[in-house]
Amino acid sequence: MPALSQPLVAVYPGSFDPITNGHLDLVQRCAPLVDRLVVAVLKNAHKNPLFSLEERVEMLKEVVRPYGNVEVDAFDGLLVDYARQKNARVLVRGIRAISDYEYELQMALMNRRLAPEIETLFMMAGEAYSFISSKLVKEVIGLGGNISGLVPPSVEEKLKQRFLGRD
């Protein structure tokens, strides 16, 4: 068991393609609870992301800049191996609905089996953000819908440029 004097480091992993206000809400609520929060963008070769890894990291860095104890990084491979590299004792996962919980529970139990020294912290989505997902945001803007308030303004502009070819 780590000594209590060690800084509490948490990792908040995800694809963040793109970051939504729901993701940002979790960052805002989690950052004060830990000494350092690492928002870690997953390099997933099996997914076909809208934004490149570099673009996602850049968007995240821009929107988490106000939080002095939050850093953005990218990783591939097992999450628990990455968490160990960062000396993290906590994995942060957001839960919007029961369907999220079922999947996240399975992942948390496997992570516990692989790294019993690392805890998973489930944080409930804020009520205003409980329906937002990156996939849904992309579908709405792709069909010409309004995504204001669903993503940070700078991310909204990047989505408009990507989907609508304008600012």
* pLDDT tens digits for range 55-66: 999 999 999 999
Six token digits for residue 118: 């690392």
Tell me, yes or no, if 96 is annotated catalytic.
Answer: yes
Q: Which residues of the chain fall short of a pLDDT of 50?
A: none
Tell me, yes or no, if 148 is annotated catalytic.
Answer: no
Domain containing 115 — which CATH number?
Answer: 3.40.50.620
pLDDT for 1 equals: 53
Q: How many domains does the chain have?
A: 1
Tell me, yes or no, if 43 is annotated catalytic.
Answer: no
Catalytic residue among 61, 86, 96, 160: 96
Q: What are phi and psi of 37, to 5 degrees?
A: -115, 120
Domain presence at residue 164? no
> Quick count: other Cβ atoms within 10 Å of Cβ 119?
15
Domain presence at residue 60? yes
pLDDT for 100 equals: 86
pTM of the predicted structure, to 2 decimals: 0.92
Tell me, yes or no, if 158 is annotated catalytic.
Answer: no
